[in-house]
Structure 1
């Protein structure tokens, strides 16, 4: 049985926050490598990209969950805000790069990340938030309140 004290402690242990420059040394890139190819990103390149994205702070948000017991980043995701002419100059949130460390799955951390990113999109005035996912992950995103719509298409240039 869960008591409120352990729940509050767990909440602080797995708090969602914005990406910080020091998160590279806490395993952020290694976590992303569980999702897709990242390459070897040196500190200088990481800092340059971090500063670039920070200049769009509200329009491109990357969030993480750090396990304060280990000091490691164990979950992440991002949302960027697309500004449109349709829907009376509306905005759409695009959720990307959601990953939970393989050792931390099943702890509702992905759901926390999705909730944080969706709340940000709503607070920025988005009329919807969308994402692409694999067929295997569809059920997870449905549990987060998403529904399948249309078909994704892609064209790679490299």
Structure 2
């Protein structure tokens, strides 16, 4: 697993929990994209679904002193029909609060999820990002491969 000594003692990483609704998780996500109206009831259902699904996990970084969420990312594990039913990790929705950027929390959560995916049997871990973030993810050990395509209706 990731060497926790590189994470400042002030911060901890763990699974998304229902308490995170009141601890700023939606605020952190809103710095990445439009979140919309997420009701507490729906948030709690989302957390419960993840507790029951070993292939879909969201992790948060918290400031231990304030209990506030300062980072978030999701790992999805896809089971493939090819390569002998191999697994691929997909990292999604990586966001670090503006107030703590520059403390290597983003690099930490990326490495954490990559190593978790590897320990779960994934032969590779991928993510999609905007061009302006390629340099950051390169510093985290990822390399540019292919092109992302999307369809929106």
Does the pair score TM above 0.5? yes
Match of 2:86 among 77, 83, 90: 90
> Which of 15-24 and 101-110 deviates more?
15-24
Q: Which has the higher contact order (CA 8 A, sep 6+)?
A: 2
| C-alpha distance in structure 2 between counterparts of 1:49 and 1:18, whole Å | 12
> Is 1:29 equivalent to 2:26 in the alignment?
yes
Which consecutive aligned stretches of 4+ in structure 1 deviate over 6 angstroms post-superposition? Answer: none
Aligned to 1:3: none
Give unpaired runs (5+ residues) of structure 1: 1-6
User: Displacement of 1:94 after TM fit?
Assistant: 0.2
- Give the secondary-structure state (helix, strand or coil) at the position aligned to 2:122: coil
- Aligned pair count? 149
Give the structure 2 partner of residue 46 of structure 1.
43
SS at match of 1:77: strand
Native 8 Å contact 2:12 2:64 kept in 1:
no
What's the RMSD between the two structures over aligned residues? 1.4
Q: Distance in 2 between matches of 1:152 and 1:48?
A: 30
Q: What does residue 65 of structure 2 align with?
A: 69
Secondary structure at the residue paired with 1:88?
coil
Superposed displacement of residue 132, structure 1 = 0.3
Q: Give me the whole-angstrom Cα distance separating, in 2, the residues matched to 1:147 and 1:116.
A: 17
The structure with the largest helix share of the pair is: 1
In structure 1, how many angstroms separate the alpha carbons of the residues matched to 2:8 and 2:105? 10
Q: Is this contact kept in 1: 2:86–2:123, CA < 8 A?
A: yes
The answer to whether the 8 Å contact 1:16/1:116 transfers is: no
104-113 vs 63-72, greater mean Cα deviation: 63-72
| TM-score normalised by length of structure 2 | 0.92
Could you say which residue in structure 2 is the equivalent of 1:14?
Answer: 11
User: TM-score by structure 1 length?
Assistant: 0.90
Query: Could you tell me how far 1:61 is from its partner in structure 2?
Result: 1.3
* Cα deviation digits, residues 67-103 of structure 1 (max 9, x gap): 1222210001011000001111100000000010011
Give ranges in structure 2 of 5+ residues lacking alignment. Answer: none
Partner of 1:127: 123
